[in-house]
Amino acid sequence: MADDTAFLTDVKTLRARAKQSLDEGAVVSSYKADPEKTIELLQIVVATELVCVLRYRMHAISAEGITSKSVAAEFVEHAESEHRHMLMAAERIDQLGGVPDLDPEGLASRSATEYGKGGDLVQMLKDNLVAERLVIEHYQELIRYFGNDDPTTRRMLEHILAEEEDHASDMHDLLVAHEGKPFLK
């Protein structure tokens, strides 16, 4: 019978490693990703999510029309979700020894999505659907990039991705309801 624990490091070795490099916090010797590159990529996630928070809040405030209250409520719900995503990425940056960049200066240029403009309800829905589709693709790429080198960041992004896909579905459904035809084929 094969030894099923052959891949495991013995506990004494793990204890010795844990006592080394205490100033590196959560970044242990078995961490395979480049912490600085991970932080750089997560700074983009933080900026992207902040821009999404602001866009959804602006849309919730400026929504007008007969069905605007229900759509505005959806925008608020999405803004709160995007805020949680931003906090998750910011906390991961902190775990890796970085400082999340929440500086409003340059926020739009650090973001993968655009802030957009107000406009009519249908245009706001389209803008939000485009933004959600963009982050879905971006986060899928990041998930592939991190793979098994940083499973914690990968799982966090997988969680965020699932919610972004739900947001895109919501925006698409609202768009169909307001236009009477699917925006996407």
- pLDDT tens-digit map of 127-165: 999 999 999 999 999 999 999 999 999 999 999 999 999
b/e per residue 103-142 (b: at least 16 CB within 10 A): eeeebeebbbbeebeeeebeebbbbbbebbbbbbebbeeb
**CATH assignment of 33-179, among 3.40.630.40, 3.40.1520.20, 1.20.1260.10, 1.10.3720.10:** 1.20.1260.10
What pTM was computed for the model? 0.85
Q: Which residues contact 47 (CB under 8 A, 6 or more apart)?
A: 101, 107, 110, 111, 112
The share of the chain scoring above pLDDT 90, in percent, equals: 71
